[in-house]
Chains A and B, each alone.
Chain A
Amino acid sequence: MTSRFHYDLIALVIFAVVIAFGVPALMNYDGFELNTFARYLALAIVSAALALSWGTAGLLNLGQAATFGMGSYAMAMHLKLRASDGLPDFMGWNNVPELPLFWVPFESLAFTLLAGLLVPAFIGGLIAIFMFRARIAGVFVAIITLAFLVAFQLLVINQQGQTGGQNGLTGLAQLTLPGWTVDPYSMGFYYLVAGCLTVALAIGVYLTHSKFGLILRAIREDADRTRFFGYNVATYQTAIFCISAALAGWAGMLYTMVLEFASPTYMGVSFSLAIVIWCAVGGRESVIAAAFGAIVVNLLEGRLSDVFVEGWHLMLGVIFVLVVMFMPRGIYGLLTDIGARLRGPNRRQSPAKARPSPTQHLETGQEP
């Protein structure tokens, strides 16, 4: 047990209490407001997932939205089948005579939930094995994952008969669990998403403080050195990629339930880059901070994009540039630096400047 582990556990408990009790009270238990906030919480999971691969292992995955989209479509396919009598409507419009084979198992809820986690993990793992066995690192990881994202989105859009194409999957049923029809505007649904986020963050906190997390941090700093201690670096990198992809898929499933549709824009480049921004603003070294970053940026977006419809994206860009320049470790870095200063000037702490900036390994092509 280290003190940092204690701080993270305390932060996790505070975070869980605030989203479980504080937020609903602030929102006056209003169904519409809570649905909006549940959306932020679902996005917080995917931001935390990116913090695991990017912050802990130094692997900037720009294709995180692809795995998010897989989870989202898995849930949407299940809910679409529930809403349809036989063939989903869009298939009829596209002259698809019968249900494609890969749709059939999504009749089952258990299969859907498993697929929403395991399909992203499997696809993420395949890409990871290909990249990391060849010892691809730094900016090339970002390029390959980005290319995959674009290709995957194109595939989904082009297979209109099977995927709904540009329109996505709309007109979904509400999820029915045994004895509970999940209404996305209900308190119960909000707690479902909040509970999922808390569990996901607990997994993330444990992983970063396990020996697995320690080895990943070592790989981030010096992958070659780590091999000489007998660790198979590619296996570790692949493992964190799979875990991160599964968490993203989980977030995607919840997201579909919040918005009641799935769209190919969930697999878009701009969405994927937005995840990077949330993660950077919160602080990529901590999963809790990354989740917090997602909530803060999305709250801002919700409020500001009403006022500045056109200018909002420009503002988001400016925020990102400012964070990278002046707070390279995000809100988390700011807090730990303040904490270190409060504990006294005599304590030796790593100066913030010695820390790598989030884009440093992009510029040099080296891991920080």
Chain B
Amino acid sequence: MQQLQVTDLQVEFGGLRAVDNLSFSVGEGEILCLLGPNGAGKSTTLDLICGKTQPTGGSIQLNGTEISQMLEFRRARLGIGRKFQVPSVYKDLTVAENLSLARSKRPGVWSALTRLALTDAREACEILERVHLSDRRDELAGNLSHGETQWLEIAMLIVQDSKLILMDEPTAGMTIQETERTAEIFRTLSASHTLIVVEHDMSFVRTVADRILVMNRGAMLAEGTIAEIEANDDVKTAYLGH
């Protein structure tokens, strides 16, 4: 069975169909890349899956459970993690506090009352080695550079340990070396996680994607491996406008 099954998904914003009868599925351990021109509905699709936006029609099933009407935090507890396009870390908290927060295996009030703020950070901070932030542990996240902020958010998602991770432009603003490193991290992640990645950087997509889904004006335009997509005439038309 597929881990995530999206069927006839649609959402309207004041008459505009941002996502139009979209259907696709993602298998466990797969990395699916969403491509498409600006305004194609890629980020909106992620918003619909994680609950930031409510769909006007269609269904979203995670491991067979219908989630399209659930509140955000319930979906997160079922194992959906989200990285936003604009890096969304807590700027007033330290790096360690951000990670402790992301470690949300026990999200209830009682367990939060019986643990110190950084109890969960100890195990979580191993991850900082992998994203080159180990010496910034006690720094306020607001003082990190843009690339470091991106990595902190990626680290938070790894620590959150969601089965399905939605990444919105994870390499935006990164240097080539940083992007390569991120691709490496993603490949290791896919051993135990499923990823849906929205990304514009084609060389990054080539390295990480198992499968690619191209969207245009809210609908699916093409689906396939990188080679199939690059040979697809519809895709060329959508991107170049001919």
Contact = CB atoms under 8 A, between A and B. Distances in A.
Given A214-B101, A350-B142, A350-B143, A227 B73 contact: yes
A361 interface: no
Q: Which of A211, A235, A348 has the most CB of B within 10 A?
A: A211
Residue among A231, A236, A348, A349 with max Cβ neighbours from chain B (10 Å):
A231
Contacts of B52: 224, 228
A227 B47 CA distance: 13
Interface in B20-73: 50-52, 71-73
Contacts of B71: 227
Nearest to A3: B138
Given A233-B73, A348-B139, A1 B90 contact: no
Interface stretch (A22-30, A33-41, A170-178, A215-223): A215-223
A211 B115 contact: yes
Nearest to B119: A211
A252 B143 CA distance: 42
A78 B183 CA distance: 69
Interface string B117-137: 111100000000000000000
B50 A221 contact: no
A218 B101 contact: yes
A293 B102 CA distance: 34
Contacts of B160: 229-230
A232 B107 contact: yes
Given A221-B92, A227-B73, A348-B139, A211 B102 contact: no
B117 A210 contact: yes
B107 A231 contact: yes
B229 interface: no
B73 A231 contact: yes
Interface residues of B, number: 39
B100 A214 contact: yes
B76 interface: yes
B107 A213 contact: no
B50 A228 contact: yes
A221 B97 CA distance: 13
Contacts of B91: 221
A228 B107 contact: no
B198 to A, nearest CB: 16
B142 A354 contact: yes
Interface in A200-246: 207, 209-215, 217-218, 221-222, 224-233, 235-236, 239
A217 B141 CA distance: 14
Contacts of B76: 227-230
Interface in A333-366: 348-350, 354-355
A209 to B, nearest CB: 5
Given A212-B113, A227-B76, A228-B72, A2 B142 contact: no
Nearest to B160: A229
21 contacts: A2-B118, A5-B117, A210-B116, A211-B113, A214-B101, A218-B90, A218-B101, A221-B93, A225-B90, A227-B71, A229-B73, A229-B107, A230-B76, A230-B77, A230-B104, A231-B73, A232-B73, A232-B107, A233-B73, A235-B109, A355-B92
Interface of A: 1-2, 5, 207, 209-215, 217-218, 221-222, 224-233, 235-236, 239, 348-350, 354-355
Interface of B: 50-52, 71-73, 76-77, 81-82, 84, 88, 90-93, 97, 100-102, 104, 107-109, 111-120, 139-140, 142-143, 160
Given A239-B109, A348-B140, 20 more contacts: A2-B118, A210-B112, A210-B114, A211-B111, A212-B112, A213-B117, A217-B97, A218-B101, A221-B90, A222-B88, A228-B82, A229-B107, A229-B160, A231-B104, A232-B73, A233-B73, A235-B108, A235-B109, A236-B112, A350-B92
